[in-house]
A and B are shown apart, each in its own frame.
Chain A
Amino acid sequence: MGIDDGEGEGEARQVQVRFVTKLQHPYKVQQASISIPANLTRFGLSALVNNLLFTANVNWTTEPFDFLIDGELVRMSLEEFLIAKGISAEKVLEIEYIKAVAPRKQEEPSLHDDWVSAVDGSSDGYILTGCYDGFGRIWKAGGVCTHVLDGHSGSLTSVCNLMPKVDSIADQVVATGSKDRTLRLWEFGEEDTIDQPKKIRSVKILRGHTGAVQSIAGIPSSDMLCSGSWDCTINLWNTSATDTDDSVSVKKRKTGGQDEEALSEGDALTTLVGHTQCVSTVVWPQRETIYSGSWDHSIRRWDVETGKDSFNMSSALIAAGGSDPVLRVWDPRKPGTLSPIFQFSSHNSWISSCKWHNKSWYHLVSASFDGKVMLWDLRTAWPLAVIDTHSDKVLCADWWKGDSVISGGADSKLCISSGVPVL
């Protein structure tokens, strides 16, 4: 079991390794250290682990694995990796293996009438998409549209789930932003009308922006909504006032159109002014802070309570893509520097969207105009997986159910890549 037991010069160098994992039972291998050739790559290691698992369990089906050494994913041959990281090959190397983060299955694409501009997968029960034809859609699964949100006069730019209830699909409230300068709130319940998607009308219309609404974000477990717009402002809205405001602002009953429900209107609670260009994206990760990205090349953090533009960033990492093919990650907690801590530059065109996995600290999905969706891990500079199902620009991407990546693009398709074992 020694290292290079005088086997000869031609023989590849041997390293002593021990495979460990945090995965549960069927994935565990015996803890004994074994000696393997150092020129093994990830693929070889994966095959090795699979073999080990096969010896333990005859019914084992091959599973791709990814390997971590000292918190770094192995992306070259073991030897090169050790040399590059300056890790001694003399002692027993501990290699942690995780399931490779890559989509196992491409589900049937859900076809839209127009470009898919927005997608939200924060609710496990359904997927919410916004489309350029001005309708929002709710999909139960790939290709199964249950509801159509009909009301906007302009194309949708952004959608978001408000108060996502994970367990059931009933009485969901979703919000959409549109180029017609309004936001609308929708409510829908669980209805199984599979053949024909049910059209639902909005319950509330939020007016206040003077430019197209570009991005909306709600905060979980709250009734607040924020939106960024082409008028360079961020507005905060109250969403729960549906019932209370009914008496105040009822109306909008168009004579010519079909019967319209009582449509309550809401005004912006407050406006955050500061950006000098279109606010292209807003994120509301915590109750107190809103992050916003703008075409004025800045990312700002807003204190919700004061409405102030505060720069003392204190939360976790921020990831952003822009009009260049580089995905950047900042750490606002790091004092004194504003330079990104990670830069991922495998895309070929503008990055239209990026999202963190809501459970994992490391994983990130990004969509680009080059038609690719990429999965990233902070522990390596290479993309974990590239989803290349779109034939045109990808405009939006999100995680769904923790193990799927959903993305919509200019080819009017909503693609769902499932079986991504992030955790």
Chain B
Amino acid sequence: MKRAPPAPESVILSPEIFFFGMIDDWEASAKKQLALYRKPPPPVSKSSLRPNRSLKLRFLSLFSAARQLLRLLSSSQTTKKMRSKRNLNGSDEKDLQKRKESNLVEIEKRIEEAETSSDDSPFVSDFEDSENDDDETLMGGEGSSDESGSQESDLSVSEDEDTFQSRYDDEDDDNAVSPHGDKADEHDNDGVEDNTGGSDDSREIVEESDSSEDEVAPRNTIGDVPLKWYKDEEHIGYDLSGKKIKKKEKKSKLDSFLARTDDAKSWRKIIDEYNDEEVELTKEEINLIRRMMDSKAPHADFDPYPSYIDWFTWDGAKHPLSNAPEPKRRFIPSKWDAKKVVKYVRAIRNGQIKLDDKPKEEPKFYDLWGEASSADRQGLAYIPAPKPKLPGHEESYNPSLEYIPTQEEINAYQLMFEEDRPKFIPKQYTSLRSVPAYEKAVQETFDRCLDLYLCPRVHKKRINIDPESLKPKLPSPRNLKPYPTTCYLEYRGHKGPVVTISAEATGQWLASGSKDGTVRIWEVETGRCLQIWDIGEPINEVEWNPELPILAVAAGQDVFILKTSCGSDEHQKKIEDLLHVQPQVEADDSNTNESIVNWLQDDTHGGIRLKHFKTVTKVEWHRKGDYLSTLMPSDILFPAIYMQ
């Protein structure tokens, strides 16, 4: 009768209720499953009925769910206390053992009573009895040592038994006076379990689970004591008035299983051992369990990541916390701060404090094809690596046909020098996958490294100036408007082509020489011709003296220095003097060096005539007007001194 698998002290619900009718193989798997939870192996159910596989699985999952739920609901504190108590009271073990035994006896009696009370099926009761006996004989002897064997034997027996029991269960349901008919059933089952799997277990479990604490005041008032203390008792505790709460009769396993299969809601029923009643979990509770199994927050409306509301910011707060006026120190600069600042400023100025800038962020990757930025590396010897050529269309795995060389071309490549030969011959592949490895990759990498290594580190100065920018910017022709566009004034009079003109220093007069042998002086303003000299030879050059209104005219082999009518009286006098004195001096000169220049008085034109031996093409005054130079195309320059 007495045998108890060494149930651990940890929380154990009465899982056996879910394991009715489990067959061996899945029992084993269930055991494994439970082992994962480090739970004791589930007690063996004797039921021989075989529910289908899915049902079993569902049972299994529900089992674990219920276990979790009750674990949650039961206060862990109590268990701890219990444990410690138990450890202290290790000596009670034997008493407990005894109590259990007596308890079992009582249960047996009770079952017998129940069987006798049920008129319909004495046979069943007998049967059950015998079964119970079986159990006892098997278990009583050596406890759980030979569990599996006993279970098997049990099962063989209980196949029939359950079928009968279901009927019996129905009867029982009908007769049940208690409001929780189902619970009664459960308890019956429990009783049966106890007989088979060990009543120790069930007791303990009942003790430690006080689920209904929140909702309803517990009927049982025993508090946080281990239930196993009541294992051998007929009551499970005391109600508020101090009366004993009787243990409910336990249904036979068969009955309870049958009731369970009939009841669609049975899967959500668990047993509250503490109050010794069966509790049907509500939908919400099931959901709660489900969510916890998914390791979510138990309540669906709990948001684990709410948006943070900063309740303690005062932005836009209408009223300040304190209405006190700003203290004076807020708007008076602190003397000590100022001193400190001055100190720092001095230190910075003297270089004692160095303000180091932020460390520059190094670019993570080297932009191989980017623009050469030597700005980062300003070293003198730094030479940026030459950029490799970017891959083009011909490097594509499937280039257009025009990139693919024909066979002749490939053959032609072979005839080329190796250096000229293209290193890469485009080929067409149907897919990227079929492109073979580039056989020259290593070689080329090596070559490139070699190039970089052997690069001559010589700086070539190259001025990087856009040549366009060097061009002067031309203003638009519209802005250049006062350039001569229209002929406003014509100086008419010359008969031949005008070959030379010269403007007087003040800009009032203009002298012109023409091929017709005349020299004319014009008034610039009106175009009036003021004076005409007919030299007779084509004029090569006319030139105003920069100071005096004298005109030098080169015509043929002569240079004439002509007096003009422009200029003041003093000027005229001076000129007359100059041009009169000259002939005598020049006459002397002509004696001495007659070969170069002959100075002659030219009265017809009113001036001097300098006779050269060759054609004079150019005549030029000195800036100050004292000297005159003439140019003959022979080869020598003859400076003619012209005294003033």
A295 proximal to B (CB < 8 A): yes
Binary per-residue interface labels of chain A (344-371) against chain B in the complex, 1 for a CB within 8 Å, 0 otherwise: 0000011010000000000000000100
Cα A410 to Cα B526 with chains together (Å): 9
> What residues of A have a CB within 8 angstroms of the CB of B482 in the complex?
324
- Cβ B488 vs Cβ A349 within 8 A: yes
Q: What is the distance, in angstroms, from A335's C-beta to the closest C-beta of chain B?
A: 27
User: Do B508 and A212 touch across chains, with their CB atoms under 8 A apart?
Assistant: yes
Distance between Cα atoms of A395 and B527 in the complex (Å) = 11
- With A230-B508, A295-B507, A369-B488 as known contacts, state yes or no: A210 contacts B568, CB within 8 Å: yes
Instruction: Tell whether, in the assembled complex, residue B526 and residue A323 are in contact, meaning their CB atoms are under 8 Å apart.
Output: no
CB distance from A397 to the nearest CB of B (A): 14
Assess whether B507 is in contact with A277, with CB atoms less than 8 Å apart: yes
What is the CB-to-nearest-CB distance from A178 to chain B, in angstroms, rounded to a whole number? 12
Closest chain B residue to A212 by CB distance? B508
- The interface residues of chain A lying within 8 Å CB-to-CB of B507 are 277-278, 295
Q: Is the CB of B526 within 8 A of A115?
A: yes
- Bound-state Cα–Cα, A117 to B527, Å: 12
- CB within 8 Å of B: which residues of A? 115, 117, 132, 181, 210-212, 230, 277-278, 280, 295, 323-325, 349-350, 352, 369, 393, 395, 410
Docked complex Cα distance between A210 and B571 (Å): 10
B506 at the interface (CB under 8 A from A): yes
Task: Please report the C-alpha to C-alpha distance between residue A369 and residue B528 in the assembled complex, in whole angstroms.
Answer: 12
Binding site secondary structure of chain B:
loop
CB <8 Å contact, A278 and B526? no
A-B contacts, 24 of them at CB < 8 A, read: A115-B528, A132-B528, A181-B568, A211-B506, A211-B508, A212-B508, A277-B507, A278-B507, A278-B508, A280-B525, A324-B482, A325-B486, A325-B488, A349-B488, A349-B489, A350-B488, A350-B489, A352-B526, A369-B488, A369-B489, A393-B527, A395-B526, A410-B526, A410-B527
Chain B residues near A211 (CB-CB < 8 A): 506, 508
Which residues of chain A are within 8 angstroms of B508 by Cβ–Cβ distance? 211-212, 230, 278
Chain A residues near B527: list those with CB within 8 A.
393, 410
Residue of B nearest to A368 (CB): B488
Q: Which residues of A contact B526 (CB under 8 A)?
A: 115, 117, 352, 393, 395, 410
> Which residues 520-543 of B sit at the A interface, judged by CB distance below 8 A?
525-528
Chain B residues positioned under 8 Å from A230 (CB to CB): 506, 508
Give chain B interface residues in 464-522, CB to chain A under 8 Å.
482, 486, 488-489, 506-508
Q: B residues bordering A, Cβ < 8 Å?
A: 482, 486, 488-489, 506-508, 525-528, 568
Q: Which residues of B contact A393 (CB under 8 A)?
A: 526-527
Pick from B482, B486, B568 the residue with the most CB of A within 10 Å: B568
The tally of CB-CB contacts under 8 A between chains A and B is: 35
A148 to B508, CA, bound (A): 27
CA distance A230 to B524 in the complex (A): 12
Q: Is the CB of B488 within 8 A of A323?
A: yes
Report Cα–Cα, A323/B526, bound state, in Å.
Answer: 11
Chain B residue nearest to A349 (CB atoms) is B488
Residues on A with C-beta less than 8 A from B568 are: 181, 210
Complexed CA–CA distance, A325 and B482 (Å):
12
Name B487's closest neighbour in chain A (CB-CB): A349
Distance in angstroms between the alpha carbons of A325 and B485 in the assembled complex? 12
Task: Give Cα A235–Cα B137 distance, bound, in whole angstroms.
Answer: 158
- When distances are taken between beta carbons in the complex, the residues of chain A under 8 Å from B489 are 349-350, 369
Take A350-B488, A369-B489 as given contacts and tell me if A410 and B528 are in contact as well, using a CB distance cutoff of 8 Å. yes
Instruction: Kindly report which residue of chain A lies nearest to residue B485, judged by CB atoms.
Output: A324
Q: How far is the CA of A393 from the CA of B492 in the complex (A)?
A: 13
In whole angstroms, what is the CA distance A115 to B482 when docked? 29
What separation, in Å, do the CA atoms of A350 and B525 have in the docked complex?
A: 10
Query: Which of B482, B489, B507, B525 is most buried by chain A, counting CB atoms within 10 A of its CB?
Result: B525
Name the B residues within 8 Å of A324 (CB-CB): 482, 488
User: Which of chain B's residues have a CB closer than 8 A to the CB of A212?
Assistant: 508
Contacts of A369 in B (CB 8 A): 488-489
Give Cα A117–Cα B523 distance, bound, in whole angstroms.
12
Q: Is the CB of A278 within 8 A of B506?
A: yes
CB-based nearest A residue for B482: A324
How close is B65's CB to chain A, nearest CB, in angstroms? 94
Known: A324-B488, A369-B489, A393-B526. 9 other contacts (CB 8 A): A117-B526, A211-B506, A280-B525, A349-B489, A350-B488, A350-B489, A393-B527, A410-B526, A410-B528
Task: Using CB atoms, name the residue of chain B closest to A395.
Answer: B526
Q: How far is the CA of A349 from the CA of B489 in the complex (A)?
A: 8
Residues of B within 8 A of A115 (CB): 526, 528
Chain B contacts of A350 at CB under 8 A? 488-489
Instruction: Tell me the minimal C-beta distance from B505 to chain A in angstroms.
Output: 11
